[in-house]
Amino acid sequence: MQYQSTRNKSIAITSAQAIKQGLSVEGGLFVPDSIPKVSIEEIAGLKNMNYRERAEFILSRYLTDFTAEELKYCVENAYTKEKFETDNIAPVYKLDDKAYFLELWHGPTCAFKDMALQILPYLLTTSMKKTDENDEVVILVATSGDTGKAALEGFRDVSGTRIVVFYPDNGVSEIQKLQMITQEGDNVSVCAIKGNFDDAQSGVKKIFSDGAYKELLAANRFKLSSANSINWGRLVPQIVYYFSAYADMLKADEITLGEKINVVVPTGNFGNILASYYAYQMGLPVNKFICASNKNNVLTDFIKTGKYNKNRDFHTTISPSMDILISSNLERFLYHLSDRDDKLVAEMMNKLNTEGEYEVSKEIFDRMTELFAAGCTDDEATLAAIKKCSEENGYVMDTHTAVAKSVYDNYAAETGDTTKTIIASTASPFKFNQSVLIALGGTAAVAGKDEFTLLTELSERSGMKIPQSLASLKTKPKLYTSVCEKSEMIEVVNDFLQI
Ligand SMILES: *Cc1c(COP(=O)(O)O)cnc(C)c1O
């Protein structure tokens, strides 16, 4: 299998090259030149495999230039019981006779980004070796919270890699900050910058586009890379858990082989829901995809009208990982929906860049709406969904998952669709403890309490155990307390690399 770019389909490179490169030179994203098929018998066969075996099976269909040993090495280092606090890695929780939560937050940072960022470092270092690249990889990340920590945990102590994370000094939650400044590992560095997320992001972009700096790094045997969600190496691991969930439901006799299910995903960058669409293209029986957004509802409007328009107000919500106006993985979806029309995709992306909007043809719109539904919800309804689900089902959701549940409830009420439905549960409620406690007990439940009191309080109210990785933050030494000017980011990297 070869990989082509969404903006130039004459490009043909291996998956290792695509993962190493991240983004194509003309700005497009890498996609496989055909979608591998999985037969219904093979899906049935997944029932008797554990998560690691399922991952090897699915990944081998896309990373065809990786040997079986290489894939095994990547998967077995990423999805361990030790890191995920469960051997099930991505368990399915039955809520009622229709709805099931696919829990993607049992990894070390308590959010679904771990599903991809635990394996990406191994895919990346293996790709480097396979393409005769012997320099050490230096990962630079600008984060608004979740991605930085997940990348740090993924890359820590992975040989042949170093990672530097920049976060806005006053732009992340207390728990997120604690998670980052107590980070362990000999190859990591974390620095706060005086500025907001955009400042951190532009600073990192500036370093990436500095040709002279690239040469200096190369002379010192370093090569810059990023861990962002447009890399194929982050998307492909996400396809696995949709098959895994289906296999678990089959195994528990919740569905019969071949029965179609719905998939609901709380969406930001369109990566997670796109992975489920790839699973469908491969042969997973899916009836409808339901794309859930918060008040930043650019995708809801797009799916309902065919017009993408980012020229609108940006809202800060209680589901911050979905506060996005440009969903970069949508580009891959448009490429597939248009039967791989690279010229058209390049045109639409160019329009998005210059005018902030584009519209798809009637044909693409019809294809999309045949499979995709969408809905959005505001903070108030999100909090109400958490309270209702806790009272009626005894299950406590985080704010992102609650957006999905709320949108799903509206969808089911409007359509009468009773198809069995998987709702992607993307974060542990403990990670967003403040909002979850407000949902359950009102603002009085949180007033004047520190983070660790909130964790204990949430544990008491939900009957759930505090994840070890959050509980242990209380006693971990604070290793990274420096704050730099946004103009000093390159010096921070140089200090760390000792060049
Ligand atoms: C990143 C994230 C999302 C959004 O996922 P996309 O793949 O960007 O659509 C949803 N929930 C949580 C908790 C996240 O961290």
pLDDT tens, 194-252?
A: 988 888 988 998 998 899 999 999 999 999 988 888 899 999 999 999 999 999 999 99
Confirm or reject: Cβ of 107 under 6 Å from ligand 1: no
Give me ligand 1 centre to Cα 320, in Å. Answer: 9
Flag whether 23 is in a domain: no
Q: Where are the alpha helices (DSSP H) in 63-210?
A: 68-78, 81-84, 113-117, 120-130, 146-155, 174-181, 197-208
385 with 402: CB under 8 angstroms?
Answer: yes
Can you tell me the distance from the alpha carbon of 58 to that of 241, in angstroms, rounded to the nearest whole number?
10
Mutation choice for ligand 1 from 179, 272, 300, 432, CB with most ligand atoms inside 8 A:
272
Flag whether 19 is in a domain: no
* DSSP codes joined into one string, 28-62: -BEEESSPPP--HHHHHHHTTS-HHHHHHHHHHHH
Better pLDDT: 328 or 64: 64
Query: Domain of 376: which CATH number?
Result: 3.40.50.1100
Confirm or reject: Cβ of 336 under 6 Å from ligand 1: no
Nearest to 318 by CA among 407, 378, 385, 389: 378
User: Using CB atoms within 10 A of its CB, is residue 414 exposed (0-12), middle (13-18) or buried (19+)?
Assistant: exposed
pLDDT tens sequence across 317-327: 999 999 989 89
Q: What was the pLDDT predicted at 197?
A: 83
Q: The whole model's pTM is what?
A: 0.95
Which amino acid residue places its CA nearest to atom 8 of ligand 1?
A: 269
Give me ligand 1 centre to Cα 446, in Å. Answer: 25
Q: Is the pLDDT of residue 145 over 80?
A: no
Low-confidence winner among 273-277, 338-342, 437-441, 482-486 (lowest mean pLDDT):
482-486
Residue 57 CB partners (closer than 8 Å, separation 6+): 42, 46, 49
Q: Is the pLDDT of residue 78 over 90?
A: yes
Looking from the CA of 347 toward its CB, the CA atoms found within 13 Å total: 8
Q: Is the pLDDT of residue 143 over 80?
A: yes
Mutation choice for ligand 1 from 104, 269, 297, 325, CB with most ligand atoms inside 8 A:
269
Q: What was the pLDDT predicted at 347?
A: 98
Q: Three-class SS of residue 262? A: strand
- Give me 224's structure tokens: 């810059």
Read off the pLDDT band of 256 (50, 70, 90): very high
Flag whether 60 is in a domain: no
Mean pLDDT along residues 355-380:
98
Backbone angles phi and psi of 336, in degrees to 5:
-70, -40
Mean pLDDT along residues 398-407:
98
Flag whether 345 is in a domain: yes
Average pLDDT, the chain: 96
Q: What was the pLDDT predicted at 144?
A: 80
Interior/surface letters 416-450, b for 16+ CB within 10 angstroms, e for the rest? ebeebbbbbbbbbbbbbbbbbbbbbeeeebbeeee
User: Using CB atoms within 10 A of its CB, is residue 39 exposed (0-12), middle (13-18) or buried (19+)?
Assistant: exposed
Confirm or reject: Cβ of 5 under 6 Å from ligand 1: no
Residue at 122: amino acid letter = Y
Confirm or reject: Cβ of 423 under 6 Å from ligand 1: no
When divided into structural domains, the chain yields a total of: 1
Q: What was the pLDDT predicted at 202?
A: 86
Flag whether 453 is in a domain: no
Residue 129 CB partners (closer than 8 Å, separation 6+): none
164 with 495: CB under 8 angstroms?
Answer: no
Give me ligand 1 centre to Cα 479, in Å. Answer: 28
pLDDT tens sequence across 447-476: 999 999 999 999 999 999 999 999 999 999
Better pLDDT: 174 or 224: 224
Q: What was the pLDDT predicted at 207?
A: 93
Q: What was the pLDDT predicted at 217?
A: 96
Flag whether 401 is in a domain: yes
- Structural domain of 289: 92-103+242-431
Confirm or reject: Cβ of 433 under 6 Å from ligand 1: no
Q: What was the pLDDT predicted at 336?
A: 98
Distances 321 to 10, 195, 234, 378, 455 between C-alpha atoms, Å: 35, 19, 16, 14, 20
Flag whether 380 is in a domain: yes
Low-confidence winner among 141-150, 158-167, 218-227, 240-249 (lowest mean pLDDT):
141-150
Flag whether 348 is in a domain: yes
Give me ligand 1 centre to Cα 228, in Å. Answer: 12
Q: What was the pLDDT predicted at 458?
A: 97
Give me ligand 1 centre to Cα 135, in Å. Answer: 32
Q: What was the pLDDT predicted at 229?
A: 84
Q: What was the pLDDT predicted at 29?
A: 96
